[in-house]
Amino acid sequence: MTAPRTATALIAAVAVLSSAVLPSAAVKVAPPRQIAFHTWTSTTDFLSGAHSGTTVADGTLRFGQSAGSTTYVDPFGDGTARSYDQVSWTSAPMSTGFGATELIASWNADTPPGTWVEVSMAGRTDQGTATKWYVLGRWAAGDETMHRTSVPRQGDANGSVAVDTFVAAKNRWIDRWQLKVTLYRLTGTSQAPQVRSVGAVASRLPSDPKVAVSPLGGAQGITLDVPTYSQETHLGHYPQWDGGGEAWCSATSTAMVLDYYGAGPTPAETAWVDPEDADPQVDHAARQVFDYAYDGAGNWPFNTAYAGTRGVDGFVTRLRSLTEAEQFIKAGIPLVASLSFKKGDLPGAGYGTNGHLMVIVGFAPNGDVVVNDPASHLIPSNDEVRTTYDRAAFENAWVPHSGGLVYVIHPAGTALPPHGPQANW
pLDDT given for residue 5 in this prediction: 55
Every domain of the chain with CATH number 2.60.120 lies at 34-204
pLDDT given for residue 196 in this prediction: 98
Task: Measure the CA–CA gap between 32 and 206, rounded to whole angstroms.
Answer: 7
Every domain of the chain with CATH number 3.90.70.10 lies at 231-410
CB-based burial of residue 333 (10 Å sphere; 0-12 exposed, 13-18 middle, 19+ buried)? buried
- Return the ∠ at Cα 42 (arms to 333 and 326), rounded to 5°: 20
pLDDT given for residue 421 in this prediction: 94
Per-residue pLDDT of 71-80, as tens digits, reads 999 999 999 9
* DSSP state for residue 334 in the 8-state scheme: -
Give me the residues of the chain with pLDDT under 50, please: 1-4, 7-28
pLDDT given for residue 23 in this prediction: 32
CB 166 within 8 A of CB 116: no
Max Cα distance, the chain (Å): 64
pTM metric for this prediction? 0.93
Q: For the chain, how big is the Rg over CA atoms in Å? A: 20
pLDDT given for residue 19 in this prediction: 33
Is the domain covering 231-410 a CATH 3.40.50.720 domain?
Answer: no
- Return the ∠ at Cα 124 (arms to 122 and 298), rounded to 5°: 40
> Collapsing DSSP states into helix, strand and coil, what is residue 301?
helix
Which CATH architecture group holds 34-204?
Sandwich (2.60)
pLDDT given for residue 413 in this prediction: 85
Cα–Cα separations (whole angstroms), residue 102 to 40, 201, 401: 19, 8, 14
Per-residue pLDDT of 208-264, as tens digits, reads 999 999 999 999 999 999 999 999 999 999 999 999 999 999 999 999 999 999 999
CA 414, distance to chain mean position in Å, is 20
pLDDT given for residue 28 in this prediction: 47
